[in-house]
A and B are shown apart, each in its own frame.
Chain A
Amino acid sequence: MTVSGCKTPLFELHERLGARIVEYAGWQMPVQYSGVIDEHQAVRQSAGIFDLSHMGEIRISGSNARSFLQQCTTNDLDNLEPGKIQYSLLCNESGGIVDDILIYCHPWGYELVVNAANRKKDLNWLRRHRPERGVVIDDVSNETALIAVQGPNSEEIMSKALNSDLNKIGYYRFVATRYQGKSIVISRTGYTGEDGFELYAGAEAADGLWKKLSAVGGDRLVPVGLGARDTLRLEMCYCLYGNDIDDDTNPLEAGLGWVVKLDKEFIGREAVAEVKAAGATRKLVAIELPAQVNGKRAGIPRHGYPVYHHDRPVGEVTSGTFSPTLHKPICLAYVASELAELGQELEVEIRNSRVPGKLVKKPFVQPSVKR
């Protein structure tokens, strides 16, 4: 089996750790090491370390950087100041989601962390909307490594490894500091629902940082691949671009209205405001399936499977998995808004058989991020 794609600075290390490598968004990424369920539990109970160097990092600076980004993103940059991070969206003119991103506010400007698969699209989109002067767009993805450490033991392990008290970093805040003379950024962010950090460094520093963290963490810190990253985020109902949201979904139906500030100007505002006025016709909901149906386990809902309400097709699954925490199949699905009520019974069609499920409150599992 041949896997192609770019290699992150940690690629050789993953191979040595016995990772199964798959192609993801043009990168050769570890999908699992010891096993998805083990890795998932390790993050919930202790700590896990992830290589996320495939993610894109785009710097926006210049005298017009702020007004430009305010126009390009849906959340309000007025709530940002240096050291703070904001979750936001890029929307197209029709209100569809170009990408979901993190914006790091630095003294010199902004750094956008974007989905690997969208990096080129985002860059083109940003360049197309850039004003004639006062905005510098710099793609630093290739020279930036990203390591995440997630789980209840992450603060202790990270603080010890980096010889720095990280307790002072609040949720969605970061510090720019140095490690062995090299610039790094440490943020209290993640995609797992656990307390944890994301660590940005130059590509050449990645190997040393990973090894240091592993040495300090010992068997309390396990390497985690994209497989468990997906089950962890799905238990939290965090959207995955390309599965749950895309250029044709609008933020309101995706449940992302909280990062859309209609009282400011931004590209796509008119379209989103129209949806708000008329009401979204469908909504992204959380559906839990029973652990057993007639004494047997049922299958797993997957992307694209139809959702029914009494014999009527009413929606489609966007992400589904077996929840290692709940020991049940779970999924996110778009369903007709009139059925998007807690407790609503719906059926998911899995290989020609309809499995009864119930619409539950998001998220499936309560997060334990630091507030």
Chain B
Amino acid sequence: MSVPVDLKYSKDHEWVRVEGDVVVVGITDFAQSELGDVVFVELPALESELSAEAQLGVIESVKAVSDVLSPVSGVVVEVNSELEDTPELINDDCYGEGWIAKIRLTSADQLDDLLSPEEYEEVIA
């Protein structure tokens, strides 16, 4: 399972890439592999305010429905609408083209609550 070293993680298998006061969020390689073939993604509304662990979206694989939880508190400033047509991007490139949303952080210090790559590797070990 790939766990890139330049990202932060949640115990719920989301990854976070910090770009200034905005973070890019997606699900990890472990999560997409557990889900299997993704066939539908429900994205959050733009401008919606989310607290950490609130529902960010829904991913459906052939087998099951899973909630995506927001790893941070903030406001949704961009969503990956490509996923509405090609949800399989989450399987093909979960850390790249399969990103889900960009969130403007309410505070930067919450990033300290997230897991390091090493800590996340422990979670999925």
Binding site for B on A (CB under 8 A): 20, 31-32, 35-37, 227, 230-231, 295-300, 302, 321-322, 324, 351
Contacts and interface: CB of A to CB of B under 8 A. Distances in A.
A189 to B, nearest CB: 24
A302 B58 CA distance: 14
Given A36-B63, A230-B63, A322-B39, 9 more contacts: A20-B36, A31-B63, A35-B91, A36-B37, A37-B62, A227-B63, A300-B60, A300-B62, A351-B58
A35 B65 contact: no
Interface residues on B, range: 10 to 19
Contact of B62 (A36, A295, A296, A299): A36
Contact of B37 (A35, A296, A299, A351): A35
Interface string B53-97: 000001011110100000000000000000011010001000000
Given A36-B63, A227-B63, A231-B62, A299 B36 contact: no
Nearest to A32: B36
Contact of A321 (B58, B62, B87): B62
B116 to A, nearest CB: 22
A29 to B, nearest CB: 13
A230 B61 CA distance: 13
A300 B60 CA distance: 7
Contacts, number: 49
B95 to A, nearest CB: 19
Given A35-B36, A35-B37, A36-B36, A299 B63 contact: no
Given A36-B63, A322-B62, A300 B39 contact: yes
Interface of B: 34, 36-37, 39-42, 58, 60-63, 65, 84-85, 87, 91
A118 B12 CA distance: 35
A324 B61 CA distance: 12
Nearest to B87: A297
Nearest to B83: A297
B62 A297 contact: no
B28 to A, nearest CB: 15
Contacts of B37: 35-37
Contacts of B60: 299-300, 322
A297 B37 CA distance: 15
Contacts of B87: 297
Among B61, B62, B65, the most chain A Cβ lie within 10 Å of the Cβ of B62
Contacts of A321: 62
Contact of A299 (B34, B58, B91): B58
11 contacts: A20-B36, A36-B36, A36-B37, A36-B63, A297-B85, A297-B87, A298-B40, A299-B40, A299-B58, A299-B65, A322-B39
A351 B42 contact: yes
A112 to B, nearest CB: 29
A322 B58 contact: no
Nearest to A231: B62
Contacts of B39: 297, 300, 322
Q: Which 10 A-B pairs have the closest CB atoms?
A: A322-B39, A36-B62, A37-B37, A296-B84, A300-B60, A227-B63, A299-B40, A36-B37, A35-B37, A297-B40
Nearest to A36: B62
Which of B34, B63, B85, B91 lies at the interface centre, i.e. has the most chain A CB atoms within 10 A of its CB? B63
Contacts of B63: 31-32, 36, 227, 230
A20 B34 CA distance: 8
Contacts of B42: 299, 351
Given A296-B84, A297-B87, A351-B58, A322 B65 contact: no
A300 B36 contact: no
Contacts of A299: 40, 42, 58, 60, 65
Contacts of B62: 36-37, 227, 231, 300, 321-322, 324
B85 to A, nearest CB: 7
A322 B40 CA distance: 9
A21 B28 CA distance: 20
Contacts of A322: 39-40, 60, 62
B36 A297 contact: no
A322 B85 CA distance: 14
